Structures are given as C-alpha cells and as structure tokens.
Amino acid sequence: MVPSPESGAPRLADVLASCRASITGASNALGLPAVDHAIVLLVDGLGTANLRASAGHARYLASRLTKKASLPGVFPATTAVGLGSLCTGAPPGSHGLVGYRVLDAANDRVVNQLSGWDDEMRPDAWQPLPTQFELATDAGIPAFAVGPSRYADSGLSNALLRGAEYVSAGSVAARFDAALRVVRENDHALVYVYVPELDMAAHARGWLSDKWVGELEALDAEVSRFAASLPTSAGLIVTADHGVVDVPADKHVLFDTAPRLIDGVRHIGGDPRCLYLYLEPDAAPDAADALAAAWRESEGDRAWVYTRAEAVSSGLFGEVAPEVLPRIGDVIVAARKLIAYYDSRETNLSPRAMIGQHGSLTDEESRVPCLRVGAYATAGR
C-alpha cells in the first residue's frame, strides 16, 4: 500500500505563504495574526521526530512543539523539494523540483537539483512559478533571505529566492543578527533565514551523534536569544524541509547486483532512500509495471514501490505539470525500513559514507515542525 498524503490540513507549502499574507492582515492557511515583520527560520533536517526525541537538548524549541505544531512535509523528503514548496507555496508537481537527482530528458541526463544548474537547466525556466518573495515585493513588502554566502548566487537560490535581497552571514549567530538588523531597519519585511548545519552534521556523523546534538543545542540558544530581541510586532515560524534517520553501512543494499531490478533501466536518480528508476525511451508500454513488480517481489517487505502513474494518481506530488512529469521516475522505490539503496557500479563512493539520510515517506523523514514564536505564539496552538 502506498501512503496517501494528508488532505485539508496545513502543509509545509503553506508556511511562507501564510507569513507573507499575515503582513497584510489577510487570512491564511495557518491562521496567523497580522504582523509588521514575518520571519521564517528553515532548519535543514530538523524533523518533528528528531526534535521530539532530542527535547532535552533543545528546551526552547521543544517547549513549542505542541500536538498541532507539526506539518506534513513533501515527497520526496529532500531539501530541493521541501524548499521548492516552501518558497513557492506550491506542491512539487507544480514547481518542478521533484527530487534530489532527476531526469533532464531533453539532454538525456540526470541532474542534481542542489548543485547541477547550468545553461541547459536555467532556474527561471526549470522553476517558473513566482516565489513568495516576488509576491511580497510586488505588494510593496521588502523581502530578504539570510544564509551562508556560498548559496548567495546558486542555481537553487535563483530558482527559489527570486525577489528577495540575499544577506550573507557566516555563522548561525551572525544570521540571526543580520535578520534582526533587517527587522529594525524596515517598517515591514518578509524574512527567510536558512540554517544547514544540522543537516550537514547528520549526513557526516548521524543525527544521534554528539556533533549533531551540539549543533542543536547551539541553535536552540540562538533562537531563544533572537526571539527575546524581536519587537512585539514580529512573528517567527521555525520549520524544516525534512527529518533524518541514521542508516548504518551494514544496511546498504546494492540493488544492481540483482539484474532484474535494473532490467531496462537507463538512468538512476533520486536519493538512496527514494530511488528514481528511468527506463529506456523505447521501453515497452508495460515495462514500468514489470519493473515495479520485480522490485515488489524482492523489496516489498522493506520498501514502497510504485510506478510514476501510481504515485501521481495518489497525489504524492500534487497536481503535476506536463513538463514536470518526465522528471519523476518511471518506477519509484521508497525505503520504509532503515536501509539505503546504492548502485555498486557508481565510481563515486563518497555518498556511501553518509550516515544521516532522508527522502522517503516515513513520518521520521516527512513530518516537520511548525513552531510559533513572538507575535505568532498564540495562533493555532
């Protein structure tokens, strides 16, 4: 059985859109009150389950993790997809960032949605929807994105942060200081703050490591300090793009060693916990069904397996634009046990050193916090 997306409840895609609406006093999906300054803190990799399990190391953040302070994220549960929905207010099938590595059919290649942008994959063409920052500035509301300098002019930033003035700041503390300056220097503002440190620590050491816990403790202290410095007219939402699970090396599955699992496969994309398998262009009409059946027979006890048609019809990507459809795998394999799928033919072995992983449909990976601070503190609790 393929998990069905929750319907009706607020989602990650509603967070930044609701904050933008609250600056004008408009109704919004999160029920946020009117404010002068709306701030969204995106903590990469801090899923609801991760925060709840680490509550003793993040007392300020955890104290705001009420029963209602958790949202469905996106599928796949990976950064490009999550940030795509946050920054556009649209589901993945509409904004077009539908995975970590996806097929660029026009150029017969798999492209990395975080770092693979080039002249053949232009940000404004690949992701053509208006961003929440563009909508804000069109309405006369200044918009800002605060993050590390290395992301200031990246392809992903150009796809998703259009309309925002990028403010570079090195440390987490410096980013909060920069955000506070923006608030103090503008009568109204929409502010986005990005913190990738926890996700980086999880990939390298695991989310249960001392390194990850230390990053969480430091973040918690900085959020508490920042919140105490905000004017009463400012509201802050703390959220994430996905959660993280730890996968030990002995749980790696080298799927290509079973020939029937790669029969007719031309390209492999996605994440180790959410494979995208792309068939040869001249594949038979029933090839996807046959490949999915082979995967279900082999891996059905520890993965969800479905064809593109099944995934789209189930609503996992929301409404899918015609030009986006080929980017989704012909067959999708999403891990539900603590395993990760790797291709042993791949010459770059560095991805197999990752401990913290994400991408699949499990609650640990797909549910994210929605913590309300400042002027938002009493709304929706």
The phi, psi pair for 183, rounded to 5°, reads -60, -45
Structure token pair of residue 50: 């991760």
Q: Is 362 left (phi over 0), alpha (psi -120 to 50) or beta?
A: beta
pLDDT at 7: 60
Confidence class for position 378, pLDDT limits 50, 70, 90: confident
**Interval 24-82: pLDDT, tens:** 999 999 999 999 999 999 999 999 999 999 999 999 999 999 989 999 999 999 999 99
Residue 150 has pLDDT above 60, yes or no: yes
Architecture of the structural domain at 249-357: 2-Layer Sandwich (3.30)
CA–CA gap between residue 29 and residue 19 (Å, rounded): 10
CA–CA gap between residue 100 and residue 162 (Å, rounded): 20
Q: With respect to CATH, is domain 12-97+114-244+362-374 assigned 3.40.720.10?
A: yes
pTM to 2 decimal places: 0.96
**Strands 274-279, 303-307: pairing kind:** unpaired
Q: End-to-end CA distance of the chain, in Å?
A: 33
What is the residue extent of each domain of the chain?
Answer: 12-97+114-244+362-374, 249-357
